[in-house]
Structure 1
Amino acid sequence: MSPKTLPPGNITPFQSRVYALLLQIPEGKVTTYAALATALQSSPRAIGGALGKNPFAPEVPCHRVLASTGFIGGFKGEWEKGLGDVGREQSAKKELLAAEGVVIDERGYLADQSCWWDGFVV
């Protein structure tokens, strides 16, 4: 899969647009549901819905999307409750991010604010 193309799959046009934007996020950087929603003139909840159904993860890196507060948020349809209440999927998301140099602290928040990225080209 090239950096700008999606593999074939049974996805909606909206999901295709969301996943194409995910491919723009550089390794070691994160963005927010709100930034994706703004780029697509949509809503953060709609973005979350598309990400929860991402059949191409982790190649299409939905793990690089956090809540606007820097909170780890959801992954594969599971939402972390916070303050150490980490589900299995959030642990996987943290591991994927850590492998790229993105640290999530013990409270579930982005530790290094320089990791933020929002340079989407629509």
Structure 2
Amino acid sequence: MEIEQRVYELVKKIPRGKVSTYGEIARALGNKKLARVVGQILKRNQDPEKIPCYRVVRSDGKIGGYSLGIRRKIKLLKKDGIKIENGRIKEFEKFFYKFK
């Protein structure tokens, strides 16, 4: 399986009401140094309805980018029940999803 498909499969596993990070996805792939690659792959996501890349945020809890715009990302995260304050996930540890 190509790395793109592996990234998309991992992102699909992030449950509603949780977020994960580029670094956590890279770790789940077996190489934490791939965090930037994960970001580039998600930037090219052609199906954000099926692959909820809006649930992937920065490791410092900041929202990060989104191809459909930051406002849309914040709206989707809030709809999932994620608390956001000043462009950052509030109580980040509570909402963080770690892959097994």
TM-score, normalised on structure 1?
Answer: 0.74
Q: Is 1:89 the equivalent of 2:69? A: yes
Please, which runs of 5 or more residues in structure 1 have no aligned partner?
A: 1-11, 77-87
Question: Following TM superposition, where does structure 1 have runs of at least 4 consecutive aligned residues deviating by more than 4 angstroms?
Answer: none
Worse-matched range after superposition: 63-72 or 109-118: 109-118
Aligned 8 A contact 1:30 1:116 in 2: yes
Task: Tell me the CA shift for residue 14 of structure 1.
Answer: 1.4
Q: Which runs of 5+ in 2 are unaligned?
A: none
Q: What is the percent sequence identity of the aligned residues?
A: 34
Which of the two has higher C-alpha Rg?
1
Could you say which structure has the greater relative contact order, defined with CA pairs below 8 angstroms and 6 or more residues apart?
2
Q: Equivalent residue of 1:51, what SS?
A: helix
Instruction: Give the alignment partner of residue 82 of structure 2, picking from 98, 102, 109.
Output: 102
How many pairs are equivalent? 97
Deviations 1:41-83 (A, max 9, x none): 341110000000011103211000010000001111xxxxxxx
CA RMSD of aligned residues (A): 1.5
Task: Compare the two structures and name the one with the higher helix fraction.
Answer: 2
Query: TM-score, normalised to structure 2's length?
Result: 0.89
After superposition, where does 1:36-75 map in structure 2 within 5 Å?
A: 36-42=25-31, 43-75=34-66
